[in-house]
Structure 1
Amino acid sequence: MASSGAERPNIVVVVADDHGREAVGCYGNPVVSTPSIDRLAAEGLRFENAFCTTASCSASRSVILTGLHAHTNRTYGLVHEPHHFSMAGHVRTLPALMRQAGYRTGQMGKKHYRPEHLFPFDMDPPEWGSDEDILRHRDDRWFADRCADFVAGGSPFFLYWCSHDPHRDRPRRDHPLRPDSFGNPDEPFPGDVEQRFDPAEVVVPPFLADLPEVRAELAEYYQAIARLDRGVGRLLGHLEAAGVLDDTVVVYLSDNGAAFPLAKTTLYEPGMALPLIIRDPRRSHAGATTSALVTWADLAPTVLDLAGAPELAEPMFGQSLVPLLDDPDDPGRDHVFASHSFHQVTGYYPMRVVRTQRWKLIHNIAWKLDHPTAADLHASATWQATLREGAALGSRPVDSYLHRPRFELYDLEADPLELDDRAGDPAQAGRVEEMAGLIRDFQAETRDPWLHKWSYE
Structure 2
Amino acid sequence: MIKRILFPAVCSLVLASCSFAEVVEAPRYNVVIMMSDDHGREALGSYGNPVVQTPNLDRLAESGLRFTNAFCTSASCAASRSTILTGLHNHANGTFGHTHSYHHFSSYDTVRSLPAMLSEAGYRTGRVGKKHYAPESVYPFDFGVDQREFDRDDVAASESCREFIAEEGPFFLYWCSFNPHRDERTVNTHPHRPNTFGNPDNAFAGDTEQTFSEDEVIVPSFLSDTPEVRAELAQYYQSIARLDRGIGRLIDVLKEEGKYDSTLIIYMADNGAAFPGSKTTLYDAGMRLPFIVKMPESASGGEVVDELVSWVDITPTLLDFAGATPADAEFQGESFLPLLERSADYEGRSEIFASHTFHEITNYYPMRVIRTKKYKFIWNVAYQIPYPFASDLWDSASWQAVRRDNSEYFGARKVADYLQRPQFELYDVENDPDEVVNLASHPEYSEMVKAYSAQLKEFQKETKDPWVLKWEYD
Quick check: TM above 0.5? yes
Letter in 2 for 1:9: Y
- Aligned match of 2:95: 75
Residue 312 and residue 388 in structure 1: after superposition, are their counterparts in 2 closer, same or farther (change >3 A)? farther
Residue 376 of structure 1 and its aligned partner are, at CA, apart by: 0.2
Letter in 2 for 1:432: V
Q: Distance in 2 between matches of 1:313 and 1:29?
A: 44
Residue 259 of structure 1 and its aligned partner are, at CA, apart by: 0.2
Q: Distance in 2 between matches of 1:297 and 1:69?
A: 6
- Aligned match of 1:304: 319
The reply to whether residue 4 of structure 1 matches residue 15 of structure 2 is no
- Aligned match of 2:227: 212
Q: Which has the larger radius of gyration?
A: 2
Provide the secondary structure at the position in 2 that maps to 1:251.
strand
Letter in 2 for 1:4: R
- Aligned match of 1:234: 249
TM-score w.r.t. structure 1 length?
A: 0.96
Letter in 2 for 1:106: G
The reply to whether residue 333 of structure 1 matches residue 349 of structure 2 is yes
- Aligned match of 1:260: 275
- Aligned match of 2:375: 359
Aligned 8 A contact 1:209 1:386 in 2: no
Aligned 8 A contact 1:21 1:257 in 2: yes
Aligned 8 A contact 2:32 2:175 in 1: yes
Aligned 8 A contact 2:35 2:267 in 1: yes
- Larger deviation: 279-288 or 45-54? 279-288
- Aligned match of 2:470: 453
Q: Distance in 1 between matches of 2:347 and 2:68?
A: 12
Residue 276 of structure 1 and its aligned partner are, at CA, apart by: 0.5
Letter in 2 for 1:137: D
Say which of 43, 55, 70 aligns to 1:23. Answer: 43
Q: Distance in 1 between matches of 2:326 and 2:306?
A: 26
Residue 285 of structure 1 and its aligned partner are, at CA, apart by: 4.0
Could you list the per-position Cα deviations for residues 78-110 of structure 1 after superposition, in whole angstroms to 9, with x for gaps in the alignment? 111121111111101111101011100001000
Letter in 2 for 1:40: L
Say which of 206, 210, 215 aligns to 1:195. Answer: 210
Residue 270 and residue 218 in structure 1: after superposition, are their counterparts in 2 closer, same or farther (change >3 A)? same
Could you list the per-position Cα deviations for residues 11-56 of structure 1 after superposition, in whole angstroms to 9, with x for gaps in the alignment? 0001100000000110000100111111111000111100000000
- Aligned match of 2:153: 139
Say which of 435, 440, 443 aligns to 2:452. Answer: 435
The reply to whether residue 38 of structure 1 matches residue 80 of structure 2 is no
Matches within 5 A, 1:12-411: 12-126=32-146, 128=148, 133=149, 136-169=150-183, 170-311=185-326, 314-327=329-342, 330=346, 332-391=348-407, 392-411=409-428
Aligned 8 A contact 1:104 1:158 in 2: yes
Letter in 1 for 2:4: S
TM-score w.r.t. structure 2 length?
A: 0.93
Residue 416 of structure 1 and its aligned partner are, at CA, apart by: 0.8
- Larger deviation: 282-291 or 417-426? 282-291
Residue 176 of structure 1 and its aligned partner are, at CA, apart by: 1.4
Provide the secondary structure at the position in 2 that maps to 1:386.
helix
Aligned 8 A contact 2:229 2:398 in 1: yes
Aligned 8 A contact 2:40 2:286 in 1: yes
Residue 281 of structure 1 and its aligned partner are, at CA, apart by: 2.8
Letter in 1 for 2:181: H
Q: Distance in 2 between matches of 1:270 and 1:48?
A: 13
Aligned 8 A contact 1:108 1:143 in 2: yes
Q: Distance in 2 between matches of 1:45 and 1:155?
A: 26
Q: Distance in 2 between matches of 1:399 and 1:313?
A: 48
Q: Distance in 1 between matches of 2:166 and 2:283?
A: 41
Aligned 8 A contact 1:3 1:306 in 2: no
- Larger deviation: 85-94 or 277-286? 277-286
In the alignment, structure 2 segments of 5+ residues that lack a partner are: 7-26
Residue 311 of structure 1 and its aligned partner are, at CA, apart by: 4.0
The reply to whether residue 444 of structure 1 matches residue 455 of structure 2 is no
Residue 173 of structure 1 and its aligned partner are, at CA, apart by: 1.3
Q: Distance in 1 between matches of 2:322 and 2:83?
A: 19
Aligned 8 A contact 2:66 2:292 in 1: yes
Q: Distance in 2 between matches of 1:380 and 1:234?
A: 31
Q: Distance in 2 between matches of 1:207 and 1:314?
A: 39
Residue 313 and residue 218 in structure 1: after superposition, are their counterparts in 2 closer, same or farther (change >3 A)? farther
In the alignment, structure 1 segments of 5+ residues that lack a partner are: none
Q: Distance in 1 between matches of 2:275 and 2:325?
A: 37
Count of aligned residue pairs for this structure pair: 450
Q: Distance in 1 between matches of 2:262 and 2:3?
A: 14
Q: Distance in 1 between matches of 2:299 and 2:334?
A: 22
- Larger deviation: 94-103 or 117-126? 117-126
Aligned 8 A contact 1:289 1:328 in 2: no
- Larger deviation: 203-212 or 381-390? 381-390
Residue 328 of structure 1 and its aligned partner are, at CA, apart by: 7.1
Could you list the per-position Cα deviations for residues 397-451 of structure 1 after superposition, in whole angstroms to 9, with x for gaps in the alignment? 1110000000000001111110100001111111111111111111001110101
Provide the secondary structure at the position in 1 that maps to 2:207.
coil
Residue 283 of structure 1 and its aligned partner are, at CA, apart by: 3.7
Aligned 8 A contact 1:54 1:272 in 2: yes
Residue 282 of structure 1 and its aligned partner are, at CA, apart by: 3.2
Q: Distance in 2 between matches of 1:377 and 1:239?
A: 36
CA RMSD of aligned residues (A): 1.4
Provide the secondary structure at the position in 2 that maps to 1:292.
coil
Provide the secondary structure at the position in 2 that maps to 1:442.
helix
Residue 327 of structure 1 and its aligned partner are, at CA, apart by: 1.8
